[in-house]
Amino acid sequence: MQVFLGKLLPRRRLCCLVLVLMLVLIVLVYCFSFYHAIECTDVNKLVTLRRNEEHTQVIVNKQEFLLKHIPCTVNGSVKQNAKGVESFQFLHSYAKLHRPDFKVYDPFGPYGVPLSIQWQPKPYFYPIQVAQFALEHYSKNKTDLAPIRLLLHEATGALDASSVAVKSVNSSYPEGLWHFKNLAKESVGLQFSLNTLSNNVELFVIRFSVMFMTPNSFFTVKLRNTSSQKDFFLHYVQMDETLLVKGPNRLYYGIGSKRTDAVWRRITLELVSLTFHGQGIVTTPSLQSSSHMDHFFDGADWLLDNQDKNGGWPAKVRRVIANGALVLEPGWYSAMAQGHAMSVLCRAYNVSGDEKYLKAALKATDLFLVDASKQGLVNYLFGRIPWYEEYPTVPGTFVLNGFLYSLVGLYDMSHCDWTGRSRKLFERGLRSLKDVLPLYDIGYGSSYDLRHVSLKLVPPNIARWDYHSVHIYLLFWLHVIDSSNLFNVTAERWIRYTLGERAKHN
């Protein structure tokens, strides 16, 4: 019996092993039947990908790929071309790189008033973003086609029935002037409902001037979410409070306190419909394809109205840096904001010839001569190298992109400033950058700031690829101005970092 069992057990083991192998083979065939190979880009055919509707399987073909790519941060996604063919795009970074498209920089040319919620939930005006809003519209005005404009009182025959509907009460004023008088809360005093021109050219911007005759007069903009078809209503009212939320779909936006004297207010909006309530006069309403210069001067005028006695635009928000190691209380200035503002105001002066913009721009240079310890903008790296701070903490953080943008503003300003001060401040900053720039190179990217140098006990703050791209663009911009090989060579090396290159080790 023992002999028989001894002969039987190996046979059973062999049968079990064969059975297990067959099951494994069946499972593998079943699983891989759901995958299909697709093209993989940018890795020199070192990787094969198989995927089904839910999963993507990566198969590394060569050890060379592991040695070259695994130490790096990599990104990838499956894309589909116009013919429906799938490919896997493999990238070492998500950086979107741009180079300046000019060989000679024009300080009055295109530049490469929203509310912010960047650092607190309650919306506030952040000077940097207001200036960026203005510069964006200035640039679009330079690069886009001239806007198409149609005065509504001349629109007879030019618009089809679905393009504009004008509903008016007591409209007895001369051509191009609408008077509305309707004090009932629910009824309409004057209403424009806008769609498009009959020739399919979209005129989605309305421009007009309005004079309110009563303190409770206001107008309402109707907005529509095209995906949900849900309507939202934005009421522009005479109050100083910036923004109030009333219910899930109603907002109240203050356009200034109630006036006893009648004043004209220029309004430019993108909308679906516009309704006036109360009593007042609307003049020269027009439909336009765009109105970039109106928006640009809205930003420039905001900068005029909000510049303080020191020549700056204080940020009215608390800023916490390095996990609380550094704190800026509301009222701090930013070299980046000052630089952007000067770029806006110089262009506003160049376009309008109005010296109020020039005076404000000149005043904005004052803070570049004041140390951060005295509520100014300047810190000194290693106690001797001046740096224009985006966040003027003490000790400094030495943020790179904010400093570079301040140089752009000073360079723009130097073409308006007959005193020569802006040019001297620009050249001073340029010398500092040439001394310090190598410190921002970390061998596989760039550092956002130098907090690890000034605070000593914190790690480096490595720039995200978005900021790394900004660093590269601005260095190329400076190379156009200064022709320094340091800027060009550094920018080219930083581009190679986004493609997987790394600095050599010893």
Instruction: State how far the Cα of 326 lies from the Cα of 399, in Å rounded to an integer.
Output: 14
Instruction: State how far the Cα of 372 lies from the Cα of 376, in Å rounded to an integer.
Output: 4
pLDDT digits (tens, 9 = 90+) for 224-239: 666 677 777 877 788 7
**Which of 393, 342, 426, 439 is closest to 135 using CA atoms?**
342
H or E element, residue 211: strand 205-212
pLDDT band at 494 (very low <50, low <70, confident <90, very high): very high
pLDDT digits (tens, 9 = 90+) for 203-215: 556 666 777 778 7
Which of 248-252, 405-409, 471-475, 477-481 shows the lowest per-residue confidence on average (mean pLDDT)? 248-252
> Looking at residue 124, what DSSP letter applies?
B
Q: Any bridge partners for residue 288, and if so which?
A: 149, 205
Count of residues in the chain:
506
Classify burial at 248, counting beta carbons within 10 Å of its beta carbon; exposed 0-12, middle 13-18, buried 19 or more: exposed
Cβ(192)–Cβ(165) below 8 Å: yes
Q: Is the model's pLDDT at 332 over the cut of 90?
A: yes
**Which of 429, 343, 350 is closest to 385 using CA atoms?**
429
Instruction: Please indicate, yes or no, whether the overall pTM of this predicted structure exceeds 0.75.
Output: no
Instruction: State how far the Cα of 391 lies from the Cα of 326, in Å rounded to an integer.
Output: 10
